[in-house]
Amino acid sequence: MKNRAVFLDRDNTLIHDDGFIHEPEKVKLLPGVPEGLKLLKESGYLLIVTSNQSGIGRGYFQEDDFHAVNRKLQEFLKPYGVQIDDFFFCPHRPEDGCNCRKPRTGMVEKAAEKWNIDVSESFVIGDRDSDIQLAVNAGCKGGVKVRTTLFPDFLSAAKHIVSLGDES
């Protein structure tokens, strides 16, 4: 049997980012994130980050900095009893034309292969139109854009996904 996943944008979806975050000490969880992640996990979804990180390709920071921010995120989530299952990222600049930069599907394809994911039963949560377009391009069941009138925080998005997932 294949797994279901929620593909998560990281910056301004899970953590606050005022531009190319790469310092672990600046990591700050956004409202509803731990509770929403826990709800998704308890509902049987893998939690997979898919993140465009063009700051690496632009030379603003190193890949190690990206991983350090991820470790800090995991550290903040630990007291809530939830962890991200995996992190995928695109280090390329928009003009590089790679297949992994959202809304292209390279990161989702790699995750689906590694984790045996049924993409058609999976979702995307993000704060940009490119995240929602990723859901469409990859053939996901749906995409939810946070920080909107309908889904002001991560927990509201997670509750929506759980309700849609239960319809299958």
Contact partners, residue 66, CB within 8 Å, separation at least 6: 22, 51, 53, 56, 89, 91
- The answer to whether 9 is annotated as binding is yes
Known catalytic residue at 129 = no
Taken as a whole, the chain contains a residue count of 168
**H or E segment at 5?**
strand 4-8
Tell me the HSE value of 105 on the side-chain side, using a 13 A CA sphere: 11
- Would you say 140 is a known binding-site residue? no
11 labelled as ligand-binding?
Answer: yes
Cα(79)–Cα(89) distance, integer angstroms: 25
Residue 86 known to bind ligand: no
Q: Which residue in the list 11, 17, 65, 131 is annotated as catalytic?
A: 11
- Choosing from 9, 65, 85, 131, which is the catalytic residue? 9
Do the Cβ atoms of 36 and 43 come closer than 8 Å? Answer: no
118 is in an annotated binding site: no
CA distances (Å), 137 to each of 19, 103, 146, in order? 26, 7, 19
Amino acid letter for position 65? D
Q: Is 86 a catalytic residue?
A: no
127 labeled part of a ligand binding site: yes
Binding residue numbers for Mg(2+): 9, 11, 127
- Residue numbers in the known binding site are 9, 11, 90, 92, 98, 100, 127
Annotated binding site for Zn(2+): 90, 92, 98, 100
Active site residues: 9, 11
